[in-house]
Structure 1
Amino acid sequence: MFKRTISALIGAPLLLGLTYLGGPYTAFLVAVLAILGLREFLRIGKHMGMKVWNILTALATVGWLVIVFRYGSEWMSTAIIFWLLMTFGRLALTYPETPFTEASFNFLAVMYSTVLLSHLYLLRQLPHGLEWTFLTFFLVWATDTGAYLIGRGFGRHLLAPQVSPKKTVEGSIGGLLSSVVVALLFWRLANDAAFLTYFVLGITIGISAQIGDLFESALKRTAGVKDSGSIIPGHGGILDRFDSLIFALPLVYYGVILLS
Protein backbone atom coordinates (compact mmCIF):
# COMPACT_ATOMS: atom_id res chain seq x y z
CA MET A 1 0.00 0.00 0.00
CA PHE A 2 2.87 2.39 0.84
CA LYS A 3 4.50 1.79 -2.56
CA ARG A 4 1.18 2.31 -4.35
CA THR A 5 0.61 5.60 -2.53
CA ILE A 6 4.09 6.93 -3.27
CA SER A 7 3.81 5.91 -6.92
CA ALA A 8 0.44 7.65 -7.19
CA LEU A 9 1.74 10.81 -5.53
CA ILE A 10 4.59 10.97 -8.05
CA GLY A 11 2.85 9.59 -11.14
CA ALA A 12 -0.42 11.54 -11.06
CA PRO A 13 1.24 15.01 -10.96
CA LEU A 14 3.59 13.96 -13.78
CA LEU A 15 0.68 12.77 -15.91
CA LEU A 16 -1.41 15.87 -15.22
CA GLY A 17 1.56 18.25 -15.51
CA LEU A 18 2.84 16.99 -18.87
CA THR A 19 -0.72 16.91 -20.19
CA TYR A 20 -1.35 20.44 -18.93
CA LEU A 21 1.77 21.76 -20.69
CA GLY A 22 0.64 20.19 -23.96
CA GLY A 23 2.53 20.18 -27.25
CA PRO A 24 5.99 18.56 -27.03
CA TYR A 25 5.51 17.75 -23.35
CA THR A 26 2.41 15.65 -23.99
CA ALA A 27 4.13 14.15 -27.04
CA PHE A 28 7.05 13.11 -24.83
CA LEU A 29 4.63 11.58 -22.32
CA VAL A 30 2.81 9.61 -25.01
CA ALA A 31 6.06 8.43 -26.63
CA VAL A 32 7.43 7.11 -23.33
CA LEU A 33 4.16 5.37 -22.43
CA ALA A 34 3.81 3.84 -25.92
CA ILE A 35 7.36 2.49 -26.06
CA LEU A 36 7.20 1.05 -22.55
CA GLY A 37 3.70 -0.30 -23.21
CA LEU A 38 4.87 -2.02 -26.40
CA ARG A 39 7.76 -3.59 -24.50
CA GLU A 40 5.34 -4.97 -21.91
CA PHE A 41 2.90 -6.24 -24.54
CA LEU A 42 5.67 -8.12 -26.32
CA ARG A 43 6.83 -9.53 -22.98
CA ILE A 44 3.32 -10.90 -22.44
CA GLY A 45 3.51 -12.44 -25.90
CA LYS A 46 6.72 -14.24 -25.02
CA HIS A 47 5.01 -15.73 -21.97
CA MET A 48 2.29 -16.99 -24.33
CA GLY A 49 4.95 -18.72 -26.38
CA MET A 50 4.51 -16.21 -29.20
CA LYS A 51 7.34 -15.20 -31.51
CA VAL A 52 7.44 -11.42 -31.20
CA TRP A 53 8.77 -9.01 -33.81
CA ASN A 54 10.86 -6.71 -31.65
CA ILE A 55 12.49 -4.66 -34.40
CA LEU A 56 9.51 -4.40 -36.75
CA THR A 57 7.01 -3.43 -34.04
CA ALA A 58 9.48 -0.90 -32.60
CA LEU A 59 9.94 0.69 -36.04
CA ALA A 60 6.16 0.74 -36.55
CA THR A 61 5.69 2.41 -33.16
CA VAL A 62 8.28 5.10 -33.85
CA GLY A 63 6.87 5.66 -37.35
CA TRP A 64 3.33 5.99 -36.00
CA LEU A 65 4.37 8.48 -33.33
CA VAL A 66 6.26 10.60 -35.86
CA ILE A 67 3.20 10.69 -38.12
CA VAL A 68 0.79 11.58 -35.30
CA PHE A 69 3.07 14.24 -33.76
CA ARG A 70 3.80 15.80 -37.18
CA TYR A 71 0.48 15.48 -39.01
CA GLY A 72 -2.12 14.73 -36.32
CA SER A 73 -4.91 12.46 -37.55
CA GLU A 74 -4.37 13.29 -41.24
CA TRP A 75 -2.38 10.17 -42.18
CA MET A 76 -3.64 7.78 -39.51
CA SER A 77 -5.85 5.66 -41.77
CA THR A 78 -3.05 5.28 -44.30
CA ALA A 79 -0.58 4.28 -41.59
CA ILE A 80 -2.94 1.67 -40.13
CA ILE A 81 -3.57 0.14 -43.56
CA PHE A 82 0.18 0.10 -44.25
CA TRP A 83 0.86 -1.69 -40.95
CA LEU A 84 -1.96 -4.16 -41.68
CA LEU A 85 -0.47 -4.96 -45.09
CA MET A 86 3.01 -5.32 -43.62
CA THR A 87 2.02 -7.76 -40.89
CA PHE A 88 -0.31 -9.95 -42.93
CA GLY A 89 1.86 -9.60 -46.01
CA ARG A 90 4.61 -11.23 -43.96
CA LEU A 91 2.14 -13.98 -43.10
CA ALA A 92 1.35 -14.48 -46.78
CA LEU A 93 5.00 -14.58 -47.85
CA THR A 94 6.38 -16.78 -45.06
CA TYR A 95 3.48 -19.11 -44.14
CA PRO A 96 3.62 -21.60 -42.43
CA GLU A 97 6.79 -20.30 -40.79
CA THR A 98 4.73 -17.27 -39.71
CA PRO A 99 1.35 -18.51 -38.41
CA PHE A 100 -1.78 -16.39 -38.33
CA THR A 101 -1.69 -16.06 -34.53
CA GLU A 102 1.84 -14.63 -34.64
CA ALA A 103 0.98 -12.02 -37.27
CA SER A 104 -2.24 -11.10 -35.45
CA PHE A 105 -0.50 -10.71 -32.10
CA ASN A 106 2.23 -8.44 -33.46
CA PHE A 107 -0.31 -6.37 -35.37
CA LEU A 108 -2.31 -5.96 -32.16
CA ALA A 109 0.83 -5.10 -30.18
CA VAL A 110 1.25 -1.82 -32.06
CA MET A 111 -2.48 -1.11 -32.33
CA TYR A 112 -3.05 -1.52 -28.60
CA SER A 113 0.05 -0.04 -27.01
CA THR A 114 0.66 2.74 -29.54
CA VAL A 115 -2.26 3.54 -31.84
CA LEU A 116 -4.93 3.61 -29.12
CA LEU A 117 -2.70 5.33 -26.57
CA SER A 118 -1.62 8.03 -29.04
CA HIS A 119 -5.16 9.41 -28.86
CA LEU A 120 -4.06 11.04 -25.62
CA TYR A 121 -1.97 13.43 -27.71
CA LEU A 122 -4.69 13.85 -30.34
CA LEU A 123 -7.32 14.61 -27.70
CA ARG A 124 -5.06 17.17 -26.03
CA GLN A 125 -4.57 18.92 -29.40
CA LEU A 126 -8.30 19.48 -29.95
CA PRO A 127 -9.92 22.84 -29.18
CA HIS A 128 -10.49 22.81 -25.40
CA GLY A 129 -8.38 19.66 -25.46
CA LEU A 130 -7.02 20.21 -21.96
CA GLU A 131 -10.52 20.15 -20.49
CA TRP A 132 -11.52 17.04 -22.46
CA THR A 133 -8.34 15.19 -21.52
CA PHE A 134 -8.61 16.03 -17.84
CA LEU A 135 -12.29 15.04 -17.95
CA THR A 136 -11.24 11.65 -19.33
CA PHE A 137 -8.66 11.16 -16.59
CA PHE A 138 -11.09 12.01 -13.82
CA LEU A 139 -13.93 9.91 -15.23
CA VAL A 140 -11.64 6.88 -15.57
CA TRP A 141 -10.47 7.36 -12.00
CA ALA A 142 -14.07 7.83 -10.85
CA THR A 143 -15.04 4.61 -12.61
CA ASP A 144 -12.23 2.64 -11.00
CA THR A 145 -12.92 4.09 -7.55
CA GLY A 146 -16.68 3.66 -7.75
CA ALA A 147 -16.37 0.08 -8.97
CA TYR A 148 -13.96 -0.78 -6.16
CA LEU A 149 -15.95 0.83 -3.35
CA ILE A 150 -19.39 -0.37 -4.44
CA GLY A 151 -18.07 -3.81 -5.31
CA ARG A 152 -16.34 -4.18 -1.99
CA GLY A 153 -19.36 -3.05 -0.02
CA PHE A 154 -22.26 -4.51 -1.99
CA GLY A 155 -20.81 -6.90 -4.57
CA ARG A 156 -22.59 -10.25 -4.73
CA HIS A 157 -22.74 -11.34 -8.37
CA LEU A 158 -19.47 -11.97 -10.21
CA LEU A 159 -19.04 -10.06 -13.47
CA ALA A 160 -16.35 -12.08 -15.26
CA PRO A 161 -15.07 -14.73 -12.82
CA GLN A 162 -12.71 -16.39 -15.31
CA VAL A 163 -11.00 -13.06 -16.00
CA SER A 164 -11.18 -11.17 -12.72
CA PRO A 165 -12.70 -13.15 -9.81
CA LYS A 166 -13.11 -10.09 -7.56
CA LYS A 167 -15.09 -7.87 -9.95
CA THR A 168 -18.84 -7.88 -9.50
CA VAL A 169 -21.90 -6.71 -11.42
CA GLU A 170 -22.77 -4.37 -8.55
CA GLY A 171 -19.27 -2.88 -8.65
CA SER A 172 -19.50 -2.43 -12.42
CA ILE A 173 -22.79 -0.55 -12.09
CA GLY A 174 -21.26 1.55 -9.31
CA GLY A 175 -18.33 2.43 -11.57
CA LEU A 176 -20.65 3.43 -14.41
CA LEU A 177 -22.82 5.58 -12.15
CA SER A 178 -19.73 7.22 -10.63
CA SER A 179 -18.51 8.17 -14.10
CA VAL A 180 -21.87 9.67 -15.05
CA VAL A 181 -22.17 11.63 -11.79
CA VAL A 182 -18.67 13.10 -12.10
CA ALA A 183 -19.34 13.91 -15.78
CA LEU A 184 -22.47 15.84 -14.80
CA LEU A 185 -20.52 17.71 -12.11
CA PHE A 186 -18.05 18.79 -14.80
CA TRP A 187 -20.98 19.83 -16.98
CA ARG A 188 -22.34 22.10 -14.25
CA LEU A 189 -18.93 23.73 -13.86
CA ALA A 190 -18.32 24.18 -17.59
CA ASN A 191 -19.48 27.24 -19.53
CA ASP A 192 -21.69 26.78 -22.60
CA ALA A 193 -21.37 23.03 -22.36
CA ALA A 194 -23.86 20.62 -23.94
CA PHE A 195 -25.50 18.31 -21.43
CA LEU A 196 -25.73 15.49 -23.98
CA THR A 197 -21.97 15.55 -24.62
CA TYR A 198 -21.06 15.13 -20.97
CA PHE A 199 -23.78 12.57 -20.32
CA VAL A 200 -22.74 10.42 -23.29
CA LEU A 201 -19.06 10.68 -22.37
CA GLY A 202 -19.87 9.67 -18.79
CA ILE A 203 -21.58 6.51 -20.01
CA THR A 204 -18.94 5.83 -22.66
CA ILE A 205 -16.02 6.09 -20.26
CA GLY A 206 -17.85 4.25 -17.48
CA ILE A 207 -18.23 1.26 -19.80
CA SER A 208 -15.03 1.40 -21.89
CA ALA A 209 -12.74 1.89 -18.89
CA GLN A 210 -14.03 -1.31 -17.31
CA ILE A 211 -13.78 -3.25 -20.57
CA GLY A 212 -10.21 -2.02 -20.99
CA ASP A 213 -9.38 -3.26 -17.50
CA LEU A 214 -10.94 -6.66 -18.19
CA PHE A 215 -9.19 -6.97 -21.55
CA GLU A 216 -5.77 -6.50 -19.99
CA SER A 217 -6.66 -8.96 -17.23
CA ALA A 218 -7.69 -11.54 -19.85
CA LEU A 219 -4.43 -10.94 -21.70
CA LYS A 220 -2.38 -11.54 -18.55
CA ARG A 221 -4.37 -14.65 -17.63
CA THR A 222 -3.77 -16.05 -21.10
CA ALA A 223 -0.04 -15.50 -20.60
CA GLY A 224 -0.07 -16.68 -16.99
CA VAL A 225 1.47 -13.49 -15.56
CA LYS A 226 0.33 -11.38 -12.63
CA ASP A 227 1.43 -7.97 -13.95
CA SER A 228 2.43 -6.62 -17.35
CA GLY A 229 5.63 -5.22 -15.82
CA SER A 230 7.20 -3.84 -12.67
CA ILE A 231 8.21 -0.30 -13.62
CA ILE A 232 5.64 1.32 -11.29
CA PRO A 233 6.17 0.14 -7.69
CA GLY A 234 2.96 -1.20 -6.21
CA HIS A 235 1.07 -0.94 -9.49
CA GLY A 236 2.92 -3.19 -11.91
CA GLY A 237 3.53 -2.01 -15.44
CA ILE A 238 2.40 0.77 -17.75
CA LEU A 239 -0.37 -1.39 -19.20
CA ASP A 240 -1.57 -2.28 -15.70
CA ARG A 241 -1.90 1.41 -14.86
CA PHE A 242 -3.26 2.69 -18.18
CA ASP A 243 -5.42 -0.21 -19.37
CA SER A 244 -8.67 1.66 -18.69
CA LEU A 245 -7.44 4.84 -20.38
CA ILE A 246 -6.24 2.98 -23.47
CA PHE A 247 -9.80 1.93 -24.31
CA ALA A 248 -11.43 5.19 -23.24
CA LEU A 249 -9.20 7.75 -24.99
CA PRO A 250 -10.08 6.94 -28.65
CA LEU A 251 -13.79 6.86 -27.87
CA VAL A 252 -13.63 10.23 -26.13
CA TYR A 253 -11.61 11.73 -28.98
CA TYR A 254 -14.09 10.69 -31.68
CA GLY A 255 -17.04 11.34 -29.40
CA VAL A 256 -15.94 14.94 -28.80
CA ILE A 257 -15.49 15.45 -32.55
CA LEU A 258 -18.97 14.09 -33.26
CA LEU A 259 -20.84 15.74 -30.40
CA SER A 260 -19.13 19.14 -30.13
Structure 2
Amino acid sequence: MSTLSRSVPVVAGVLGAGGIAVAALPARLRMRAELRRRWRTWALSAPLFLGAFWLGDGGVAVFAAGLGVVAVLEYVRMAGLTRSDQTVLTVTAVALPALAWLAPAALGPQLTFGALLLAAAPALLTADTATGFTRAGRTAFGLLWIPLGLSCLVLLGDTALAVGVAVAFGDVGAWCGGTALGRRGPLARRLSPLSPHKTWAGVVGCAAATAGALAALGAFTPLVWTAVLVGCVVGDLLESMVKREAGVKDAGSWLPGFGGLLDRIDSLLVALLLTAGVTLR
Protein backbone atom coordinates (compact mmCIF):
# COMPACT_ATOMS: atom_id res chain seq x y z
CA MET A 1 0.00 0.00 0.00
CA SER A 2 1.41 3.41 -0.97
CA THR A 3 1.98 6.21 1.51
CA LEU A 4 -0.74 8.29 -0.16
CA SER A 5 -3.34 5.53 0.09
CA ARG A 6 -2.46 5.11 3.78
CA SER A 7 -2.55 8.87 4.39
CA VAL A 8 -6.06 9.57 3.11
CA PRO A 9 -7.99 7.45 5.64
CA VAL A 10 -5.62 8.38 8.49
CA VAL A 11 -5.94 12.11 7.86
CA ALA A 12 -9.68 11.88 7.17
CA GLY A 13 -10.21 9.91 10.37
CA VAL A 14 -8.26 12.34 12.52
CA LEU A 15 -9.99 15.34 10.94
CA GLY A 16 -13.37 13.73 11.50
CA ALA A 17 -12.62 12.96 15.13
CA GLY A 18 -11.19 16.44 15.60
CA GLY A 19 -14.26 18.02 14.06
CA ILE A 20 -16.55 16.17 16.43
CA ALA A 21 -14.35 17.12 19.38
CA VAL A 22 -14.26 20.85 18.61
CA ALA A 23 -17.97 20.90 17.85
CA ALA A 24 -18.65 19.43 21.29
CA LEU A 25 -16.50 21.94 23.18
CA PRO A 26 -18.46 23.92 25.80
CA ALA A 27 -19.17 27.55 24.95
CA ARG A 28 -17.42 28.75 28.10
CA LEU A 29 -14.06 27.35 26.97
CA ARG A 30 -11.79 30.29 26.22
CA MET A 31 -10.06 28.68 23.22
CA ARG A 32 -13.22 27.28 21.64
CA ALA A 33 -13.38 29.77 18.75
CA GLU A 34 -9.63 29.53 18.14
CA LEU A 35 -9.69 25.73 18.00
CA ARG A 36 -12.61 25.80 15.58
CA ARG A 37 -10.73 28.20 13.30
CA ARG A 38 -7.70 25.93 13.38
CA TRP A 39 -9.78 22.88 12.54
CA ARG A 40 -11.32 24.64 9.53
CA THR A 41 -7.85 25.59 8.30
CA TRP A 42 -6.70 21.96 8.70
CA ALA A 43 -9.79 20.75 6.84
CA LEU A 44 -9.06 23.05 3.88
CA SER A 45 -5.29 22.58 3.75
CA ALA A 46 -5.19 18.77 4.09
CA PRO A 47 -6.84 18.08 0.69
CA LEU A 48 -4.49 20.58 -0.97
CA PHE A 49 -1.44 18.87 0.52
CA LEU A 50 -2.61 15.34 -0.28
CA GLY A 51 -3.88 16.41 -3.70
CA ALA A 52 -0.46 17.71 -4.69
CA PHE A 53 1.05 14.27 -4.07
CA TRP A 54 -1.81 12.62 -5.94
CA LEU A 55 -0.77 14.66 -8.99
CA GLY A 56 2.79 13.33 -8.80
CA ASP A 57 6.15 15.08 -8.62
CA GLY A 58 5.02 17.88 -10.93
CA GLY A 59 2.07 18.67 -8.69
CA VAL A 60 4.29 18.63 -5.61
CA ALA A 61 6.79 20.96 -7.33
CA VAL A 62 4.04 23.47 -8.19
CA PHE A 63 2.63 23.21 -4.67
CA ALA A 64 6.09 23.74 -3.13
CA ALA A 65 6.73 26.74 -5.37
CA GLY A 66 3.41 28.30 -4.37
CA LEU A 67 4.17 27.81 -0.69
CA GLY A 68 7.64 29.25 -1.25
CA VAL A 69 6.44 32.45 -2.90
CA VAL A 70 4.00 33.20 -0.07
CA ALA A 71 6.49 32.24 2.66
CA VAL A 72 9.17 34.44 1.08
CA LEU A 73 6.84 37.45 1.15
CA GLU A 74 6.26 36.93 4.86
CA TYR A 75 9.93 36.35 5.60
CA VAL A 76 11.09 39.42 3.65
CA ARG A 77 8.68 41.59 5.59
CA MET A 78 9.89 40.25 8.95
CA ALA A 79 13.58 40.34 8.02
CA GLY A 80 13.42 43.90 6.67
CA LEU A 81 14.87 42.93 3.28
CA THR A 82 14.68 44.95 0.08
CA ARG A 83 12.81 44.30 -3.14
CA SER A 84 15.97 42.98 -4.83
CA ASP A 85 16.54 40.52 -1.96
CA GLN A 86 12.92 39.46 -2.30
CA THR A 87 13.44 38.85 -6.02
CA VAL A 88 16.38 36.52 -5.34
CA LEU A 89 14.38 34.55 -2.78
CA THR A 90 11.25 34.38 -4.95
CA VAL A 91 13.17 33.16 -8.01
CA THR A 92 14.90 30.45 -6.00
CA ALA A 93 11.60 29.50 -4.31
CA VAL A 94 10.25 28.67 -7.78
CA ALA A 95 13.45 27.35 -9.35
CA LEU A 96 14.61 24.88 -6.69
CA PRO A 97 11.39 22.80 -6.56
CA ALA A 98 11.36 22.82 -10.38
CA LEU A 99 14.96 21.55 -10.45
CA ALA A 100 14.13 18.92 -7.83
CA TRP A 101 11.42 17.69 -10.18
CA LEU A 102 13.14 17.98 -13.58
CA ALA A 103 16.85 17.66 -12.74
CA PRO A 104 17.34 16.46 -9.14
CA ALA A 105 21.00 15.67 -9.78
CA ALA A 106 21.58 19.41 -10.26
CA LEU A 107 20.81 20.06 -6.59
CA GLY A 108 24.34 19.38 -5.44
CA PRO A 109 26.92 21.29 -3.38
CA GLN A 110 27.86 23.45 -6.36
CA LEU A 111 24.33 24.77 -6.74
CA THR A 112 24.06 25.45 -3.01
CA PHE A 113 27.31 27.41 -3.09
CA GLY A 114 26.11 29.36 -6.13
CA ALA A 115 22.80 30.11 -4.45
CA LEU A 116 24.59 31.51 -1.41
CA LEU A 117 26.62 33.82 -3.67
CA LEU A 118 23.37 34.84 -5.34
CA ALA A 119 21.99 35.76 -1.93
CA ALA A 120 24.80 38.28 -1.48
CA ALA A 121 24.53 39.67 -5.03
CA PRO A 122 21.94 42.45 -4.38
CA ALA A 123 23.96 43.93 -1.53
CA LEU A 124 27.22 43.58 -3.46
CA LEU A 125 25.88 45.14 -6.63
CA THR A 126 24.47 48.15 -4.78
CA ALA A 127 27.64 48.51 -2.66
CA ASP A 128 25.52 48.59 0.48
CA THR A 129 28.01 49.60 3.18
CA ALA A 130 25.35 50.20 5.83
CA THR A 131 23.33 46.97 5.92
CA GLY A 132 24.87 44.85 3.15
CA PHE A 133 26.27 42.11 5.37
CA THR A 134 23.04 41.87 7.37
CA ARG A 135 20.97 41.69 4.18
CA ALA A 136 23.22 39.06 2.63
CA GLY A 137 23.16 36.93 5.77
CA ARG A 138 19.39 37.13 6.16
CA THR A 139 18.83 36.41 2.48
CA ALA A 140 21.16 33.39 2.62
CA PHE A 141 19.40 32.07 5.70
CA GLY A 142 15.99 32.55 4.08
CA LEU A 143 17.19 30.76 0.95
CA LEU A 144 18.36 27.70 2.90
CA TRP A 145 15.30 27.69 5.14
CA ILE A 146 12.47 28.22 2.64
CA PRO A 147 13.34 27.35 -1.01
CA LEU A 148 15.77 24.56 -0.16
CA GLY A 149 13.49 23.18 2.53
CA LEU A 150 10.48 23.12 0.21
CA SER A 151 12.49 21.50 -2.60
CA CYS A 152 12.79 18.50 -0.26
CA LEU A 153 9.04 18.00 -0.68
CA VAL A 154 9.90 16.83 -4.20
CA LEU A 155 13.24 15.16 -3.49
CA LEU A 156 11.93 12.96 -0.67
CA GLY A 157 8.93 11.59 -2.57
CA ASP A 158 6.57 9.52 -0.42
CA THR A 159 8.73 10.19 2.62
CA ALA A 160 7.93 13.90 2.30
CA LEU A 161 4.22 13.09 2.44
CA ALA A 162 4.74 11.08 5.63
CA VAL A 163 6.85 13.87 7.13
CA GLY A 164 4.19 16.47 6.32
CA VAL A 165 1.43 14.45 7.96
CA ALA A 166 3.65 13.64 10.96
CA VAL A 167 4.55 17.31 11.49
CA ALA A 168 0.87 18.27 11.38
CA PHE A 169 0.04 15.58 13.93
CA GLY A 170 3.03 16.65 16.00
CA ASP A 171 1.67 20.18 16.22
CA VAL A 172 -1.62 18.85 17.61
CA GLY A 173 0.22 16.43 19.90
CA ALA A 174 2.35 19.23 21.30
CA TRP A 175 -0.73 21.26 22.17
CA CYS A 176 -2.46 18.28 23.76
CA GLY A 177 0.67 17.31 25.70
CA GLY A 178 1.21 20.85 26.92
CA THR A 179 -2.43 21.17 27.96
CA ALA A 180 -2.64 17.80 29.73
CA LEU A 181 0.84 17.53 31.26
CA GLY A 182 2.25 21.04 31.27
CA ARG A 183 0.54 22.58 34.26
CA ARG A 184 2.86 21.34 37.02
CA GLY A 185 5.85 19.10 37.59
CA PRO A 186 9.13 18.80 35.67
CA LEU A 187 7.37 18.61 32.29
CA ALA A 188 5.85 22.04 32.90
CA ARG A 189 9.26 23.67 32.54
CA ARG A 190 9.55 26.19 29.72
CA LEU A 191 11.43 24.87 26.72
CA SER A 192 13.06 28.17 25.71
CA PRO A 193 12.65 31.91 26.34
CA LEU A 194 12.16 32.22 22.57
CA SER A 195 8.70 30.68 22.94
CA PRO A 196 7.41 31.07 26.52
CA HIS A 197 4.33 28.90 26.01
CA LYS A 198 6.29 25.86 24.80
CA THR A 199 7.02 23.29 27.50
CA TRP A 200 8.72 19.91 27.76
CA ALA A 201 5.24 18.41 28.10
CA GLY A 202 4.56 19.66 24.60
CA VAL A 203 7.71 17.92 23.35
CA VAL A 204 6.49 14.65 24.89
CA GLY A 205 3.11 15.05 23.20
CA CYS A 206 4.81 15.88 19.90
CA ALA A 207 7.09 12.84 20.18
CA ALA A 208 4.13 10.51 20.70
CA ALA A 209 2.04 12.03 17.90
CA THR A 210 4.84 12.04 15.31
CA ALA A 211 5.80 8.45 16.13
CA GLY A 212 2.17 7.36 15.80
CA ALA A 213 1.70 9.17 12.49
CA LEU A 214 4.86 7.75 10.93
CA ALA A 215 3.96 4.25 12.12
CA ALA A 216 0.42 4.54 10.72
CA LEU A 217 1.84 5.53 7.33
CA GLY A 218 4.47 2.78 7.32
CA ALA A 219 7.30 5.31 7.35
CA PHE A 220 8.64 4.97 10.88
CA THR A 221 12.37 4.55 11.38
CA PRO A 222 14.31 5.90 14.37
CA LEU A 223 16.26 8.30 12.14
CA VAL A 224 13.21 9.70 10.35
CA TRP A 225 11.28 10.04 13.62
CA THR A 226 14.22 11.86 15.25
CA ALA A 227 14.52 14.19 12.25
CA VAL A 228 10.79 14.98 12.35
CA LEU A 229 10.72 15.50 16.12
CA VAL A 230 13.79 17.76 16.13
CA GLY A 231 12.36 19.62 13.13
CA CYS A 232 9.07 20.21 14.96
CA VAL A 233 10.82 21.63 18.00
CA VAL A 234 13.63 23.57 16.35
CA GLY A 235 11.50 24.88 13.48
CA ASP A 236 9.05 26.47 15.88
CA LEU A 237 11.81 28.05 17.97
CA LEU A 238 13.60 29.22 14.83
CA GLU A 239 10.61 31.16 13.58
CA SER A 240 9.97 32.50 17.08
CA MET A 241 13.51 33.90 17.05
CA VAL A 242 12.89 35.63 13.71
CA LYS A 243 9.56 37.04 14.89
CA ARG A 244 10.95 38.29 18.20
CA GLU A 245 13.70 40.24 16.47
CA ALA A 246 11.15 41.59 13.99
CA GLY A 247 8.84 42.54 16.87
CA VAL A 248 5.79 40.73 15.48
CA LYS A 249 3.49 38.08 16.96
CA ASP A 250 2.74 36.26 13.71
CA ALA A 251 4.27 36.10 10.24
CA GLY A 252 0.92 37.14 8.76
CA SER A 253 -2.78 37.33 9.52
CA TRP A 254 -4.52 35.65 6.60
CA LEU A 255 -4.48 32.02 7.79
CA PRO A 256 -7.28 31.58 10.38
CA GLY A 257 -6.08 30.14 13.66
CA PHE A 258 -2.38 30.27 12.76
CA GLY A 259 -1.45 33.73 11.48
CA GLY A 260 0.69 33.44 8.38
CA LEU A 261 1.92 30.57 6.24
CA LEU A 262 5.32 30.53 7.92
CA ASP A 263 3.57 30.08 11.26
CA ARG A 264 2.12 26.86 9.82
CA ILE A 265 5.13 25.44 7.93
CA ASP A 266 8.06 26.59 10.10
CA SER A 267 8.51 23.12 11.61
CA LEU A 268 7.88 21.37 8.28
CA LEU A 269 10.75 23.23 6.61
CA VAL A 270 13.31 22.10 9.19
CA ALA A 271 11.89 18.58 9.41
CA LEU A 272 12.19 18.17 5.62
CA LEU A 273 15.79 19.39 5.61
CA LEU A 274 16.77 17.07 8.47
CA THR A 275 14.95 14.11 6.93
CA ALA A 276 16.72 14.72 3.63
CA GLY A 277 20.01 14.79 5.50
CA VAL A 278 19.46 11.38 7.10
CA THR A 279 17.81 9.58 4.17
CA LEU A 280 19.29 10.94 0.92
CA ARG A 281 22.72 9.77 -0.14
TM-score, scaled relative to structure 2 = 0.76
Residues of 1 paired with 2:41 and 2:212: CA distance?
27
User: Equivalent residues in 2 for 1:15-30 (5 A)?
Assistant: 15-30=49-64
Residues of 2 paired with 1:252 and 1:229: CA distance?
27
Is 2:164 aligned against 1:152? no
Q: 2:195 aligns with which of 164, 181, 200?
A: 164
Is 2:180 aligned against 1:180? no
Give the stretch that moved more between structures: 107-116 or 70-79: 70-79
Residues of 2 paired with 1:64 and 1:203: CA distance?
26
Is 2:87 aligned against 1:60? no
User: Equivalent residues in 2 for 1:134-149 (5 A)?
Assistant: 134-149=161-176
> 1:116-136: per-residue Cα shift (whole Å, max 9, x none)?
111001112xxxx2xx23321
2:65: which partner in 1? 31
2:42: which partner in 1? 8
Is 2:107 aligned against 1:81? no
Is 2:129 aligned against 1:96? yes
Residues of 2 paired with 1:42 and 1:178: CA distance?
32
Q: CA deviation at 1:92?
A: 5.8
Residues of 1 paired with 2:162 and 2:196: CA distance?
29
Could you say what the CA RMSD is over the residues aligned between the two structures, in angstroms?
2.3
Residues of 1 paired with 2:263 and 2:155: CA distance?
22
CA pair 150-109 structure 1, distance change in 2 beyond 3 A: same
Q: Which structure has the higher relative contact order (CA within 8 Å, separation 6+)?
A: 1
Residues of 1 paired with 2:37 and 2:216: CA distance?
31
> 1:23-65: per-residue Cα shift (whole Å, max 9, x none)?
221111011001111111101112xxx5462233333334434
Residues of 1 paired with 2:168 and 2:180: CA distance?
18
CA pair 70-182 structure 1, distance change in 2 beyond 3 A: closer
Residue segments in structure 1 that go unaligned for 5+ positions in a row: 191-196
Between Structure 1 and Structure 2, how many residues are aligned?
A: 240
Q: CA deviation at 1:251?
A: 2.1
Residues of 1 paired with 2:65 and 2:122: CA distance?
26
Residues of 2 paired with 1:43 and 1:84: CA distance?
20
CA pair 103-144 structure 1, distance change in 2 beyond 3 A: same
TM-score, scaled relative to structure 1 = 0.82
Q: 1:116 aligns with which of 143, 146, 149?
A: 149
CA pair 238-67 structure 1, distance change in 2 beyond 3 A: same
Q: CA deviation at 1:230?
A: 2.5
Q: Name the aligned partner's letter for residue 157 of structure 1.
A: R
Q: CA deviation at 1:91?
A: 5.2
CA pair 153-106 structure 1, distance change in 2 beyond 3 A: same
Give the stretch that moved more between structures: 137-146 or 150-159: 137-146
SS at match of 1:117: helix
Residues of 2 paired with 1:60 and 1:203: CA distance?
28
Residue segments in structure 2 that go unaligned for 5+ positions in a row: 1-33, 183-187
Identity of aligned pairs, percent? 28
Q: CA deviation at 1:205?
A: 0.9
CA pair 39-200 structure 1, distance change in 2 beyond 3 A: same
Is 2:119 aligned against 1:72? no
SS at match of 1:158: coil
Residues of 2 paired with 1:73 and 1:147: CA distance?
36
Q: CA deviation at 1:95?
A: 5.2
Residues of 2 paired with 1:16 and 1:62: CA distance?
20
Residues of 1 paired with 2:117 and 2:274: CA distance?
25
